[in-house]
Amino acid sequence: MLIEIDFQSEEALYMQLRNQIVLGIATSMLREGDPLPSVRQLAGDIGINMHTVNKAYSVLRQEGFVTIDRRRGAVVAVDTNKLQAAAETKEQLRVLLAKAICKNISRAEICEMVDEIYDEYRDYGKQEDN
C-alpha cells in the first residue's frame, strides 16, 4: 500500500497517516490480519518521526482498526462492534453536515456525494474478487 503524506497540509501528519490506513482497509488494499510496517520502518519510508507513526497506530488501535502485539507489531483487525461504529460515524457526520449546510450544499447534493463515495468502496471490493 502506498502512503501519501502532504507535508504542506494543515492536517496533522498522524491523522493523514491514520486516514490513509483506514482508506486502505476500506478499499481492501489492507485486509484483516495483514501486518502493518513497524513504526521504525514506516517512519523511515515516508520520512516522518517515529512518534508520529506511533501516535497514528495508537489512534487506529483505539478506533478498533488494528491490534498491537509486542511480537507481531500492528496488525489489521477491524472492530466488529457495529453499534459503536455507527454511533461514532453519526457524530462525525453531524459535524460534516453542519459544515455542508453552512456552505449551502443541498440535501440532494449530499446524498449524491454519499452514494458516489459508498459505491466507490463497494465496487472496489467487487473488482478485487474478479
pLDDT one-digit tens code per residue, 3-22: 989 999 999 999 999 999 99
> What is the structure's pLDDT at 126?
57
Best CA proximity match to 15, nearest among 55, 67, 63, 68:
55
Q: Per the confidence metrics, is the pTM higher than 0.85? A: no
